[in-house]
Structure 1
């Protein structure tokens, strides 16, 4: 659990959200706009987005001299912990990055997120429905997307060749065989950030999708039952992978984006692949040496006999939500960030994938073009489980799958533990 992180972040939050207080008056006594400071939280710690987002903020300030944007940039886990404190403190920043889904819904239910439907009505038709859907609830809009994508396997072509693997595995059994081939060739098959837990949940989530199907995951959100045979079977396949000992040494203590973490391990050629989202290439380049043309991508394999479609995608994107008490300039900034002329620069740089209609031509990287193409033709879509479900349930998924991979919980216990938390939250 992230209790210590949450408690530590709470102190920062309570001290740092003055920008989310009462809206500033529209004009000062002299007739010019009153000075406004916008608190903006995001988690784009890697290039190119780190610099691009900072540049967008400077441009907005230049166009709006009365506005100062104070950015707080945190890595993934610290950011999640800080978001958790929003609900506890009841005081949201003016603008904050969101994955949408169940976590955003909880924040909306707590009265912390502004309904921006009327403010953004003029630009909503510009977005693709898939990108926008995670930020809309009951016909209202609570944020605008900045990215969308899918999780898949990013791999080192040279290391696959070294192991005699000539094509990407299309089935789970073929994938397990390729893991064995890599090990036999003296190659570490997979890098995993075991310390952070969320990367591990991708395996269980995808296997649940392939074995049980998307409808089963949706039903589990209603009946709070993750003990059904197909969910146990997903856990058994995660265990089958873990039993092959495919991960790098020390993976249980490894982070994701640090110089010795999951991303860098792949980027530096010390592991053959990682299961990660569309941001993987930029984080790899930032954390390590980068693989260049040796980097490839393939979709999560199908599972023989499974009820799910091999064309179903798992993932999500990112977006910007606005705090309830934020001044109007906060919404103006969110709209500025997602204008075609501004957003397409981030797409061209390889930092994000298209969320605006007609933006597809801006994708230059061949691997990201492959992701975008797969996403465009996906037969179904599932948001990350630690965002789709209520926060406590998502956290339990991450924790339980981490225990499964570490060998301290059985597939049956994983289902029972998640169900217990889901029922208590439901």
Structure 2
């Protein structure tokens, strides 16, 4: 995906710079038929890597594939994140998608699959896709069928200041919710702001409710709720109540309701400048903390979201997402070959080394040098369950309602029961 320093709602590495890529849209309206002229097959590849270094790296990979496959031409169409979503919505409605296209998996991919527009990759990729990191493949598995191949994966967790933990007498990161609340109390008692939050942007607050829902109701309950359009179950209400427990401790920095994520006075900078002990954020957090603040260097640590006592979830179940590629239904074999090339050890090593993504090919892990990314990768490898970002797992309106309702709970204007009911109401309206 794009530059981690520009991370925004629900995306791992985030919103990419505005504008089109090097390839103009003229003649690229998703009307490629994977056909051939003069014995050459042209494959249209739509992606959102419009920023450096990914833009140059991906273009070079396409050229390398062409050199290895002289009878194949890769036609690249690069769109900024929001423009891409808009264009893909129109193409989905028209019934014709590009040969290869970026996907986050989840709800939008399911809509495209249900419309009969996406190629089933289960058998066509089995010989090599079986070797990819299991958790990375989860967002693209719908009812056990593979409709996409990952090139990136990541997770949300707590990034914390070891020095501030030591100041508060906290020797090890908490592993239970009660232990976490206790740590918050110890930090406050030591005169330390426990948590930084970008309340203005809403999506960072959603991470708390999502994880608490995973830990109380369970990952399977989130899937079932998405299908039944009913989030009023006891586990979801308890998730809101647990979040209210945290909010009542007043753990966030002064003015958090008006704070953005990546501004000089926002969430990331507050942690990066040592003014708060923790933030709940994705694997891009260290980059942003150092970009908009000073960064914590060796004082920065990472730990997973704690288990909730009596809940159905485990600490090894992760919340996150990544990027992948899917194919239009009936795409030529050359498109499958390109996916295999893009998911190869050599390509993944280059992507990890040059663009900062986490490896989806276990054999590429040796390229990782950053201790923070190694810590996240270790958790991903140990994952026993996975939940895709809610604004990608569900219909966009439902994901937005989760963000809005949770923000209202954090601000004190909605109860846990009202949050569950609001999300349910929106989900039913989407039917």
**TM-score between both structures, scaled by the size of structure 2:** 0.80
Per the TM alignment, residue 341 of structure 1 is displaced from its structure 2 partner at its CA by: 0.7
User: CA contact under 8 A between 1:40 and 1:71: conserved in structure 2?
Assistant: yes
| 2:48 corresponds to | 41
Distance 1:350 1:242 in 2: 37
Where 1:289 maps in the other structure, the secondary structure is coil
CA deviation profile, 1:213-271 (whole Å, cap 9, x unmatched): 23332332343332223321210111222223322344334333444443333223332
- Coordinate RMSD, CA, aligned: 3.5
User: CA contact under 8 A between 1:40 and 1:94: conserved in structure 2?
Assistant: no
Which deviates more from structure 2 when the two are superposed, residues 270-279 or residues 410-419?
270-279
Distance 1:145 1:102 in 2: 16
Sort the Cα spacing of 1:131 and 1:291 in 2 relative to 1 into closer, same or farther, 3 A: same
Which deviates more from structure 2 when the two are superposed, residues 406-415 or residues 157-166?
157-166
Sort the Cα spacing of 1:200 and 1:34 in 2 relative to 1 into closer, same or farther, 3 A: same
Distance 1:298 1:207 in 2: 15
| 1:374 corresponds to | 379
Q: Choose which of 54, 63, 66 in structure 2 pairs with 1:64.
A: 66
Sort the Cα spacing of 1:216 and 1:327 in 2 relative to 1 into closer, same or farther, 3 A: closer
Distance 2:63 2:212 in 1: 46
The question of 1:155 aligning with 2:182 is answered: no
Q: Choose which of 238, 244, 252 in structure 1 pairs with 2:257.
A: 252
| 1:233 corresponds to | 238
| 1:22 corresponds to | 31
Per the TM alignment, residue 18 of structure 1 is displaced from its structure 2 partner at its CA by: 4.6
Per the TM alignment, residue 424 of structure 1 is displaced from its structure 2 partner at its CA by: 3.0
Sort the Cα spacing of 1:399 and 1:152 in 2 relative to 1 into closer, same or farther, 3 A: same
Distance 2:340 2:263 in 1: 32
Q: Flag structure 2 segments of 5+ consecutive residues without an equivalent.
A: 1-8, 10-18, 68-72
Q: Flag structure 1 segments of 5+ consecutive residues without an equivalent.
A: 3-10
CA deviation profile, 1:179-209 (whole Å, cap 9, x unmatched): 2333344433222232332221111111122
Where 2:48 maps in the other structure, the secondary structure is strand
Where 1:97 maps in the other structure, the secondary structure is strand
User: CA contact under 8 A between 2:193 and 2:276: conserved in structure 1?
Assistant: yes
User: CA contact under 8 A between 2:49 and 2:55: conserved in structure 1?
Assistant: no
Per the TM alignment, residue 121 of structure 1 is displaced from its structure 2 partner at its CA by: 4.8
| 2:108 corresponds to | 103
The question of 1:131 aligning with 2:140 is answered: no
Q: Choose which of 56, 66, 88 in structure 2 pairs with 1:54.
A: 56
| 1:5 corresponds to | none
| 2:3 corresponds to | none
**TM-score between both structures, scaled by the size of structure 1:** 0.81
Distance 2:329 2:411 in 1: 41
Distance 1:36 1:382 in 2: 32
Which deviates more from structure 2 when the two are superposed, residues 215-224 or residues 203-212?
215-224
Q: What is the aligned residue count?
A: 406
Distance 2:273 2:227 in 1: 43
Sort the Cα spacing of 1:34 and 1:310 in 2 relative to 1 into closer, same or farther, 3 A: closer
User: CA contact under 8 A between 2:44 and 2:99: conserved in structure 1?
Assistant: no
Sort the Cα spacing of 1:92 and 1:249 in 2 relative to 1 into closer, same or farther, 3 A: farther
The question of 1:168 aligning with 2:188 is answered: no
User: CA contact under 8 A between 2:140 and 2:148: conserved in structure 1?
Assistant: yes
Distance 1:259 1:172 in 2: 30
